[in-house]
Structure 1
Amino acid sequence: MAARHVHRGERLDLGTLAAEAGISRATLFRRVGNREELLGEALWLLSDRTMRDAVRRWEKTEGPVVRGTTGELRCLAVMGWYRASVAEDAGLRTLLDTEPGVAIRVLTDPHGRVQPRVIAAHAELLARDVADGGFTPVVDVDSLAFALVRLGESFLYSDVVAARAPNLDAAAKLLRVLVEGTAGQRVPALVPDQGL
């Protein structure tokens, strides 16, 4: 119910939600926590559905391959479609416009209900491509997923956090470099200077 309210661009009100569910506000609080915790669960549900839709889109258009017909890595295509869908979501945009502080806090809290799960979903996409022979990352998958999500967030929510228009094309190029290296080449690991 909370996810439907957010998706429709409606303010999430625990009293209204409790009444719709036919329970007391106290019962709702005991079951789901405070408003921000419920908002986090709702945003995660919407995010998870968006990611699953992006994965299904790849499977429908490209099949079970790691690289598409244009040579794009599956995880990068899926992540790009995911970000584009998030950016276009009218309900999320309304939340970011009407409650920017709450929205950013809930979306990007490293101990919250959204960001850790989004990072885990990205790690799963990366791990699948590594396992299927798509690429060899220069850092472990968990660190790479963390970097991709945080950088993606900085572009996706840049209008709120930095007063800049979101630029998903720039984000996609930078994320591609993080995953595949410059111009699709693997970037060699830095070796400390042995002369000191």
Structure 2
Amino acid sequence: MIRSAARWIERGVRVDTSAFAQDMGISRSTLFRRVGNREDLLGDALHYLSERTLAAAKRSWEREEGDAVRNAAGELRCLAIMREYRSVLAASAGFRRFLDDEPVLAIRLLTDPDGRVQPRVIAAHVELLRRDVDDGGFVPAVGLDSLCYAIVRLGEAFLYSDVLASRTPDLDAASTLLGALVTGIPGRPR
């Protein structure tokens, strides 16, 4: 059911529990027993989309760069993967429609520190960066949990800036700032 709800979001279809339950061939009460309320369903569907997008970005790196920690331009694997992840999310017409049609709900579901999306996204980023640390790519100035919390929050600020601050999302600025956050500013002591 989570994958079906994710497909509805991708297609730009509003996930109405009555219509969704009917499409699944079950009653609303059965839907509620299986996945919880609408926000639970949407949160899990958004996490599924996030997880799938991050996995695709990792596969893209592996196809192009193999096990390398840095690409030919010197960019860390984790930063390149995060950049592609944000780019794909920003380009998703269905995801953007959800943000446009239900901005308050979308932001609450995506950024709730106790919700179904943000804590899992932070955990996925910790694993992504841990791999670069373990493979010798870099040594972060702060612990991975704190660093990834900052990375995800900063990424959200740019990715959802049109909804949060009436600003056009600037993913290039996000990548530059996240690169400085992760690798430090050249010439400055750590």
- Fold-level similarity (TM above 0.5): yes
Shift of 1:187: 4.2
> Does residue 105 of structure 2 align to residue 102 of structure 1?
yes
Shift of 1:186: 6.7
Shift of 1:8: 0.3
Residues of 2 paired with 1:186 and 1:111: CA distance?
A: 35
Residues of 1 paired with 2:28 and 2:137: CA distance?
A: 49
> Aligned residues, how many?
187
The structure-2 alpha-carbon separation of the partners of 1:50 and 1:39, relative to structure 1 and needing over 3 Å to count, comes to same
Among 73, 82, 85, the alignment partner of 1:82 is 85
Aligned to 2:148: 145
SS in structure 1 of the partner of residue 23 of structure 2: helix
> Does residue 40 of structure 2 align to residue 70 of structure 1?
no
SS in structure 2 of the partner of residue 69 of structure 1: coil
Larger radius of gyration: 1
Residues of 1 paired with 2:188 and 2:137: CA distance?
A: 12
SS in structure 1 of the partner of residue 106 of structure 2: helix
What percent of counterpart residues are identical? 61
Shift of 1:76: 0.2
Q: 1:115-138 deviations in whole A, cap 9, x for unaligned?
A: 111111111110000000000000
Q: 1:67-106 deviations in whole A, cap 9, x for unaligned?
A: 1111110000000000000110101100011110011010
Aligned to 1:119: 122
Aligned to 2:23: 20
Q: 1:65 is matched by which residue type in structure 2?
A: A
Residues of 1 paired with 2:166 and 2:142: CA distance?
A: 31
The structure-2 alpha-carbon separation of the partners of 1:187 and 1:31, relative to structure 1 and needing over 3 Å to count, comes to farther
Q: 2:25 is matched by which residue type in structure 1?
A: G
Residues of 1 paired with 2:72 and 2:81: CA distance?
A: 14
Among 176, 179, 187, the alignment partner of 2:179 is 176
Q: Contact 1:180/1:186 (CA < 8 Å) preserved in 2?
A: no
Among 132, 136, 140, the alignment partner of 1:133 is 136
Q: CA RMSD, aligned part only?
A: 0.9
SS in structure 2 of the partner of residue 182 of structure 1: coil
SS in structure 1 of the partner of residue 149 of structure 2: helix
> Does residue 43 of structure 2 align to residue 43 of structure 1?
no
Residues of 2 paired with 1:102 and 1:95: CA distance?
A: 9
Which of structure 1's runs of 4+ aligned residues deviate more than 4 A?
none
**What TM-score, normalized to structure 1?**
0.93
Q: Unpaired runs of 5+ in structure 2? A: none
Q: 2:134 is matched by which residue type in structure 1?
A: A
